[in-house]
Structure 1
Amino acid sequence: MQTYFNELADHMQSLTRGGEVTTAWLAAEQSDFVRFNKSALRQAMNVRQIAVTLGLIADGRRIELRSSLSGDAAPDKARLAAMFGRLRDELPQVPPDPYLLIASEVNATEHRVVSTLPDPGQVIERVLAAGKGRDLVGLYAAGPIMRGFANSLGQRNWHEVASFELGWSFYHRADKAVKSSYAGTVWNDAVFDAKVTLAAEQLARLAEPAKSLQPGRYRAYFTPTAMNEFLGALAWGGFGTKLQRTRQSALMRLHDGAVTLSPAITCFENVADAMAPSFQADGFVKPPRVMLIERGVAVDTLTSPRTAREYGIASNAANAEEMPDSLELAPGSLAMDDALAALDCGLYIGNLWYLNYSDRQACRLTGMTRFASFWVENGRIVAPLQVMRFDDSIYRIFGANLLALTCEQELVPDGDTYEARSTRSVRTPGALVSDFALTL
């Protein structure tokens, strides 16, 4: 695929006229999708797709056009030529872009993780065995994801990583289920078996009478999956420079220095160890790490090329949305095996659902507990919880109320498969907090 892309890039360069800069962004995948329901294989398919976004820049104007490709160089070169013809016809109708910033410094990169993924048949056997005697529903997606960038200045960037994600639930009845996931670049049977064992134990607990709680404040342990929901909400409008400059950031008080988080909170964009590419769609190459919060204090924000041009500041090659692609929360010192003992009495929250901001300026979030959340006494799970709504501020949860983070982290990928598999992910530990506010 890389050779094919380079051939297209060279052809694009040959089509470029004087005074023009042309760009190409390629997104491709070859993915196996396997769907399970009632512990049976219901659908299996392979998807191979290639899409290219061509950009034409001239006279301070920029225009783009996206198209699917066949993977055959000869007809795809003809398609590129036709696309550039259309772009040249339409470019004069586009107004000059005052915030246009071109990646004029050639910075070539190549990152490739050779696939060690098991044959899909092996995974299917493991999943069906895990679901024997239970009602398992889930989706397995795996295979190489490719991203490429090229411009007429001679820059070439390539990213190829073979990864997998398995998300599944053991269903009990009504709204009762245990939701679990396993993802990465190397499949490990022992890790998967441990997750299945934990989910099966929790499924047995769901059959017991549920405990109803009164609104109030409780000690709580959040699994990495639940923590991913908090971090995902922060990624949506918390770390971008544009929102910070226009004072719309959910973390505005943290950026202003009016509040700090717990010294245990260190959060950064970790491109070096990510499934996402180290370059973005305009060709700007990201630094290996962007420190966002260090020991509870805001350090930096994600700055796209357009925002950099608008405010006359340096860009750190953030995407257009200025959202993290590979957010990581540094681990703590609490072993996951000791989490229930450290919790002692309170909430074990396996998943959170329907998160949204109830007060964006106060970084206050509301949402629901769901999918295998339990009441714990004396360090032991004693009953499943009825679904509860919470409403609390990140400044409290990750601030004075944070008691500990686990020393183990989990990779939680973005399961979005609309149009294509996502390369975004979060790596996070679990967290033990006090005074978590349940409202109803």
Structure 2
Amino acid sequence: MSVVSRGYFDGLAQAVCDAARDGERSSLLFKAESSDFIRFNHAAVRQATHVEQAVATVALTQGQRRAEARVTLSGRLDADVAALRSELDTLRTMLPDLADDPWLLLPERPVRSERHETGTLPDAGRLVRCVAEAAAGLDFVGFHAAGPVVRAFADSAGTRHWHHVETFHFDWCLYHSADKAVKTAYAGAHWSDEEFARRVGHGAAQLALLAKPARALKPGAYRAWFAPAAMAELLGALGWGGFGLKARRTGTSSLMRLAHRDAVLHPDVNLFEHPALGSAPAYTAEGFGRPERISLIERGLATDTLANARSAREYGVTANGANPSETPEALSLLPGQLSDARAVAELGTGLWISNLWYLNYSDRQACRLTGLTRFACLWVEDGRPVEPIGVMRFDDSFLRMFGEGLVGLGDRAELIAESGTYLERQLGSLSTPGALVEGWKLTL
């Protein structure tokens, strides 16, 4: 039986839920995948691997006491049922020695959700042929991950969640020399040979510019267009404590000035946590359902926060489906009015920023970020890309950049899937348009 099948999960769920005794609540958090991983170098296969794995977290609750254990599963239902029941017996012996957890909060009524989506994914042979044809003659270096991923939950109180998606993610670089490369990604549930070839071709067209000597920039303020990949880095950094309820209540959020209305963003900035837009599950590790959309910033003003169950209990508010760290999993910045097709013309003279990296806060309370430019960042003159720029460090406040500094947002949002595969394939995503900013501060 496949570890990503519904029948396998249902068998585990029944065993775990039936094991609860009077006064107890048992639960099963289930994660599984059947993934193909292919690594390329010089447009040729360098590593090909298939991984099928499943892990379960079982928990036992009695009153305000809760214990849990994580178990790697074999895929053999009888053996895995026995292993989970054994873990529950161990947890049962631990509960009397545990102190009450004052912030423990579980759903009061059964919650149910189901999402089962199948994709059109390329098999390994087709993918290799696509790369060989589209990247012929190019130094193509990339990593492809694809296949079904399952996240599911059940508890003895009647809550049931089933989340099955089939997705792919392909990250690659077209390498020129030294630190010069063009980075591209393609992700989704429905693969297109033509779209993949188009993206490779678009990157290849930029290699001629990278062959030119890099322009040395002086520190200062520049007009800059941030491509969606660069925007994803900025918004991702903003999510490190910026939107969480606990960070807001303890004064450690990077958006405290926005929350207190000491600062406002441009009216075009509308930011939401939007689980229904991406591939993330519609429930939490405790079994709470997630709203389809949570408003975080509207018309430049701070609105709601991400509240997980523990913070909700501590501060007496309603939980809204946040994860334990209260970080976004499906952040969505709504598009604006600037034409993406005319982005270079709208920029005029300034910087085209394709990617950023190594971001961190240089002043959290001022929401000031620092980081480096990366890959194909270009100098644009009179609406025409001229040459690459050398690696530069920026240091600027997000509140300034997207407040008084924001000229406008692009009219098309791009869904950027999280590419992490450490321990398991990630299902987070971020949707964002590009952005034109005046006065972006480069420091060295």
* TM-score (norm. length: structure 1): 0.98
Is residue 2:414 matched to residue 1:407? no
Q: In structure 1, which of residues 389, 398, 405 is the aligned counterpart of residue 402 of structure 2?
A: 398
- State how far apart, in whole Å, the 2-side matches of 1:139 and 1:346 are: 32
Q: In structure 2, which of residues 308, 313, 333 is the aligned counterpart of residue 304 of structure 1?
A: 308
Letter in 2 for 1:336: D
Q: Could you give the per-residue CA deviations for residues 331-368 of structure 1, whole angstroms, max 9, x where no partner exists?
A: 11222220000001000011001100000000000000
The number of aligned residues is: 440
Letter in 1 for 2:330: S
SS at match of 2:82: helix
Instruction: Report matched runs for 1:14-413 at 5 Å.
Output: 14-413=18-417
Letter in 1 for 2:411: C
Letter in 2 for 1:318: A
SS at match of 2:290: coil
Q: Could you give the per-residue CA deviations for residues 195-227 of structure 1, whole angstroms, max 9, x where no partner exists?
A: 112211111211111100110001000100000
Letter in 2 for 1:274: G
Q: Could you give the per-residue CA deviations for residues 353-399 of structure 1, whole angstroms, max 9, x where no partner exists?
A: 11000000000000000100000001111010000000000011111
Cα RMSD after superposing both structures:
1.0
Q: Bigger shift: 295-304 or 183-192?
A: 183-192
Q: Bigger shift: 111-120 or 234-243?
A: 111-120
- State how far apart, in whole Å, the 2-side matches of 1:36 and 1:189 are: 17
- State how far apart, in whole Å, the 2-side matches of 1:203 and 1:86 are: 59
Letter in 2 for 1:343: L
SS at match of 2:196: helix
Q: Any runs of at least 4 consecutive aligned residues in structure 1 with deviations exceeding 3 A, and if so which? A: none
SS at match of 1:272: helix
SS at match of 1:400: coil
Q: Bigger shift: 5-14 or 342-351?
A: 5-14
Question: What fraction of aligned residue pairs are identical, expressed as a percent?
Answer: 49
Q: CA deviation at 1:231?
A: 0.6
Q: Could you give the per-residue CA deviations for residues 50-103 of structure 1, whole angstroms, max 9, x where no partner exists?
A: 000001101311111001112221111101111111111222222110001011
Letter in 2 for 1:261: L
- State how far apart, in whole Å, the 2-side matches of 1:368 and 1:432 are: 18
Q: CA deviation at 1:274?
A: 1.7
- State how far apart, in whole Å, the 2-side matches of 1:189 and 1:218 are: 38
- State how far apart, in whole Å, the 2-side matches of 1:86 and 1:128 are: 53
SS at match of 2:412: strand
Letter in 2 for 1:79: A
Retained in 1: the 8 A contact 2:308–2:326?
yes
Q: CA deviation at 1:176?
A: 1.1
Match of 1:430 in 2: 434
Q: CA deviation at 1:114?
A: 1.4
Unpaired runs of at least 5, structure 2: none
Retained in 1: the 8 A contact 2:71–2:84?
no
Q: Bigger shift: 284-293 or 183-192?
A: 183-192
- State how far apart, in whole Å, the 1-side matches of 2:422 and 2:120 are: 25
- State how far apart, in whole Å, the 2-side matches of 1:193 and 1:431 are: 26
SS at match of 2:277: coil
- State how far apart, in whole Å, the 2-side matches of 1:403 and 1:187 are: 35
Unpaired runs of at least 5, structure 1: none
- State how far apart, in whole Å, the 1-side matches of 2:208 and 2:146 are: 30
- State how far apart, in whole Å, the 2-side matches of 1:368 and 1:397 are: 16
Q: CA deviation at 1:246?
A: 0.2
Q: CA deviation at 1:191?
A: 2.4
SS at match of 1:358: strand
SS at match of 2:402: helix
- State how far apart, in whole Å, the 1-side matches of 2:203 and 2:17 are: 53
* TM-score (norm. length: structure 2): 0.98
- State how far apart, in whole Å, the 2-side matches of 1:96 and 1:129 are: 62
Letter in 2 for 1:5: F
SS at match of 1:404: strand
SS at match of 1:168: strand
Retained in 1: the 8 A contact 2:37–2:49?
yes
